[in-house]
Amino acid sequence: MVYMEKFNVIVIGGGSGLNVAAFAAKRGLKVAVIEPGPMGGTCLNRGCIPSKMIIESAEVAQTIRRSPAFGVESEIKSVDFKSIMERTMNFIDEEAQQIEEAIKDSSQYTLYKHFAHFTGPKTILVGKEEIEGEKIIIAAGTKPFVPPIKGLDKVKYYTSDTVFDLEEQPKHVIFIGGGYIACELAHFFGSLGSKVTIINRGEALLSREDGDVSKVFTKSFSTQYHVLLNADVKEFSTVEDEVRVLVVLEGKEETVEGDLLVIATGRSPNTDSLECKKAGYELNEKGYLKVNEYMETSVPGVWSLGDIAGKAPFKHGANYEAKLVMANAFLGEKQAADYTVMPHAVFSSPQIAGVGLTEEAAKENGLDYTTAKYPYIKTGMGKALHDKEGFVKVVADKKTKKIVGVHILGTEASILVHEAIVALQAAGGDPKAITDSIHIHPALSEVVQRAVNSISWEGPPPEGGKTLMERTTEQKI
């Protein structure tokens, strides 16, 4: 008889699943952690942390290029691309190593640095060893989706998982896809001086954003970079050191050439490599694990969280789900997931952030809704920043007279949105949480208050969008 080691808890994935592992270990449980790659998950190693570190260099470069508008003449003499990447990855590698060492140093954990797959509902083959868990947490994330396009298997390409390995700055980067990964990385390469081409099969970039946000962003990005919309990619090929992409636009073929190809067409769950379906787990039509409101899978005693569950594909979403799993799996509670106030941000230029329903979602849900928008440039700080594109859009329910969504495009959008998050979460969307709060003048946050002040419950804002305050006090910047 072959011995099979049994654990109180098995956590698959070294990202937010470690939050649950630590919680279980502190309760004295025997915990196994399975992570074949570096610890910290996608966010630390190939996602939000490294991307934001390199994007900060892009922000500096962009500030220098914009300096003449503020009366300061400056120039970029050179870009040490290798140094930017090394600074980023050295930090990432150190952080991942520290997490791994901490796990290895604890007697509560057994760390498996091998690929694994299920052999049964609660048994796992990890390396050459089979283990069993009383409770299992599946937090194994996703991987880049690579579309089956002719010739792609014969050319060199990068994804968001491999692009951080670059040591030399490319002259011309071609992105396939128009989502947040492509737009953030395009901002990085483009701001540092690389030519950028984005090839997107849809009619707009960031198409999942509120329609007004997506429209303005697409227009802005198209003035900065070469953006091909409604483009059908037919074939890839290589000529010397150049990658060629054959694209069909409005029925006509066009060839785009560049020295770096990045495939950014979304991500797919790791349920296939784990052989979840074969082990009896229910998956949805896109291959993500089916979970109920308590993050329970179809197998009793097994929970899932993070990207592989397909509910909130953000690090903060995974951390939120980890808290639910802790309560539901170990404290005997029944805490249901609520994603109505799940925010997100896109760290491109212009920056984007949002929380709650878009106008399109409000319409699909049959709400009797109204919207209000306020431009950055009509505030003191917006004027100081020369932000002519930025705006805040509010979506509100006429019946309840509550805010149901806030969407921001412009400077520091990822920070400004937090006022809306608190108003929706703590005040149930009551506009007074924002309108009745004193805002520092002329801080940029005034644009959020003025957008909410602009809500007209009976129809569109009167007098060309002026707020009640503006009409009664002739408020100036």
Tokens (6 digits) for 305? 């969280």
The sign of the torsion formed by the CA atoms of 268, 271, 275, 280 equals negative
Tokens (6 digits) for 258? 């560049």
- The two most distant CA atoms of the chain are separated, in Å, by 85
Alpha helices, H only, 353-400: 359-364, 380-384
CB atoms near residue 446 (< 10 Å): 22
Instruction: Please choose, from the candidates 288, 62, 48, the residue with its C-alpha nearest in 3D space to the C-alpha of residue 180.
Output: 48
Tokens (6 digits) for 445? 């946050």
In angstroms, the CA 228 to CA 205 distance is 10
Alpha-carbon Rg of the chain, whole angstroms?
24
Which helix (DSSP H) or strand (DSSP E) does residue 155 occupy?
Answer: none
Preceding peptide of 300 cis, ω within 30°? no
Pairing mode, strands 142-144 and 172-176: unpaired
In terms of Cβ atoms closer than 10 Å to its own Cβ (0-12, 13-18, 19+), residue 65 is: middle
Give the Å distances, CA to CA, from 102 to 18, 30, 323. Answer: 11, 16, 21
Catalytic residues, by residue number, are: 441
Instruction: Say whether 74 sits in a helix, a strand or coil.
Output: coil
Give the Å distances, CA to CA, from 42 to 199, 314, 362. Answer: 25, 10, 32
Return the amino acid letter for 414. S
The single-letter DSSP state of residue 281 is -
Q: What order do you get walking across the sheet with 252-258 strand by strand?
A: 231-239, 242-249, 252-258
Give the Å distances, CA to CA, from 28 to 25, 216, 326, 331. Answer: 5, 53, 14, 14
DSSP 435-467: HTS---TT-TTHHHHHHHHT--SSSSPHHHH--
